[in-house]
Structure 1
Amino acid sequence: MDVTATLSLGDPLEPARKATAEMLQNRERTFSLPQPFYSDERLFKIDMQEIFHKEWLIAGMTCEIPAKGNFLTLQLGDNPIIVIRGAEGVVHAFHNVCRHRGSRLCTSEKGKVAKLVCHYHQWTYELDGRLLFAGSEMGADFDLKDYNLKPVNCKVAGGYIFISLAENPPAIDDFLSTLAHYMEPYDMENTKVAVQSTLMEKANWKLVLENNRECYHCSGSHPELLNSLLEWDDVTDPRANQSFKDHVAESSAKWDAEKIPYAHASFGLRNRIVRMPLLKGTVSMTMDGKQGCSKLMGRIQNPDLGSMRILHLPHSWNHCMGDHLIVFTVWPISAQETMVTTKWLVHKDAVEGVDYDVARLRQVWDATNDQDRRLAEENQRGINSTAYQPGPYSTTYEFGVVNFVDWYSERLLNNLGAEPAAYLRQVGAE
């Protein structure tokens, strides 16, 4: 940590860091987390420093910055970030902070520029971050090379842009190469965002993820979603029946014939890719189960591709169908507030009003997202009570939640420099 950030008093969060590690080391593995993990602002700051500033995050999609000079911006805690397409199609990421006096360079969510120019004093940067101009006012001894933009780790695979603020981010290349293989049929460079939504939820980010990681609540909360979605993640799901397994086998044979990847691929608990069929007779997550976009993506010929589900912890899940993709990302705002973005992607040549109707495309997940928002907010309200204590997860219906909390606990303890809990050592050995 930058010593200037801690002043001369040491790290003010150090007592909270020690307490956080102790709570994780002593908690019951198959129970929900202790209350401070969902409500305490000090622990939220630790989450930001040790999870969201150190892990790989999905900043956006390559199709959002299709040409040289196209950029997008995002806010990661207190850190404004810019992602920009440079020369020869290379995607760069930088701290969106001028090296002169710290002003933000790009103030809009998206745009296109020839150069990055600070509006304050016109310092000018190349698209690869090099400082090109600072004016003669800086003096004869001023060296432009000392004041390039501060870079952010950036990798691209399968149409996704990943960033990490860490000096030494965790290894991710094996997952990215697999992701690129699984996304090949979609030709992601030739897609576009048809529509995007932003939802503010008055709940801790981990409650948003926990809700997503199980379908225990689906039958009582998501009638629109269950018009097409089958809740099982794989044939290995302990609840999967023979009818579902037969449906998977029949679908897999069709995908094999079209050379569409579908086999389950996992990378620890952080990443998972698996294609599962939708409800028989449906091909897309629309109210009637029919195509949401008449123009299929990439080289895909068969609309009945089910949904390829991509998990990327700590903050994203995705559904990839034959006609469109849905990308969800979760962005913590405070201990009890979270922003959830949803992007619906279609073929770049699909014409709104002809090939797809935006309202119909987004109807199912608009309803589902709002239902999940209410569930997470009511969960937060109950957790804030003095009556709350950690409760047991169902290892059959909520194993995905257990996996998420295991991942979170391991990464947080590791990034805090603390010893893993005994149960995490056992999980790692398995």
Structure 2
Amino acid sequence: MNDLRLGVIGLGVRGELADLAHRPAAGSRVVACCDLDPKALSGVRDRFGPDVRTTTDHRELVAAGLDGVLVLTPDHTHEGIALDFLSNRVPVFLEKPMAITTTGCDRLLAAAQASGTRLYVGHNMRHLPVVMAMRQLVEEGAIGQVKAVWCRHFVGHGGDFYFKDWHADRRNTTGLLLQKGAHDLDVIHWLAGGYSRLVTGLGGLVVYGDIASRRDRTGERMTDWLAPAHNWPPLQQRDLNPVVDVEDLSMMQMRLDNGVFASYQQCHFTPDSWRNYTIIGTEGRIENFGDSDDVTIKLWNRRSDYHADADDSIHVQTPAGSHGGADPRLIEEFLDFIRHGGNTVTSPVAAREAVAAGYAATQSLRSGGRPIEIAPPDPALIAYFDNGQR
């Protein structure tokens, strides 16, 4: 079996996925790297070999004979870069969110179908052991028919992660409700078995907007300044991005197309960092404690007052690898998808629906909580991707 020839666009924080995909003589090899910052390219030959091609312009690689490309760049660039490769029939791994608007997602889906080129979106949380375990419990009927899903997302490191670089500028993300929420909204949809069709949102910039200390970090990477141990209390943060116009506190309500109701809450100034999902059905509820390390899922399915030990507890083993072992599984699936096509655990249509929910909720939030309806994608597109992009 010849190695797949892979290109990598963007060598920032998610550039670690390229290392997982680089398997010389074992199925895949990174042969080309692109980043706007020449400094980011300086070490790629040590990582991927002396013959790796480097460029600061991704368009130089669209006709370079690549078998696939990983697009790991900032959110607002995903759409344009992916369209260039899809139109040249190069299979694309696209980091989430697939775009920062619903129409941008629809353009990507249409381009993949029109060219017959495989599109894969990196929603790694579908490979996260705790999420997979909760979905299995739902599918086994442990709580009956799902009627409600809640998610509380505590982003305790938000001041360092998302308010000191491009994430803080809504031109690059639409907003953190979409940027961060795309993961959780996809999980909510997956666990509930449906997609959001009516949403409302509320929230604001309630803490980090009061910090006057700002600094332009052009040329820096998040890893250059990240110091979670010194990230408390939040108002002591310094050197935020010159533009800070995204919300640090947001919440949304959803009605899904199958009648399930859901809610999502996101806060960037909590002392702790984790996601808490609650799924309520006609015969019980499940809730996770922890999300990547030392994870327990608790099940309540008998009438009682609250009891912390629950009626059953499931300890979830966390394998080695980044993001609780999800990233290695994600890359494994993408490489197999390049070779064989077919259905995958992740879904471009579901990725679009996560963006659509987050995008609509952000518009609602910024218009005082106005309810917004979400239209589904073209049925022909849905059928194409449901059939494994064959």
| TM-score normalised by the chain length of structure 2 | 0.28
TM-score when normalising by structure 1 = 0.26
Question: Which one has a bigger Cα radius of gyration?
Answer: 1
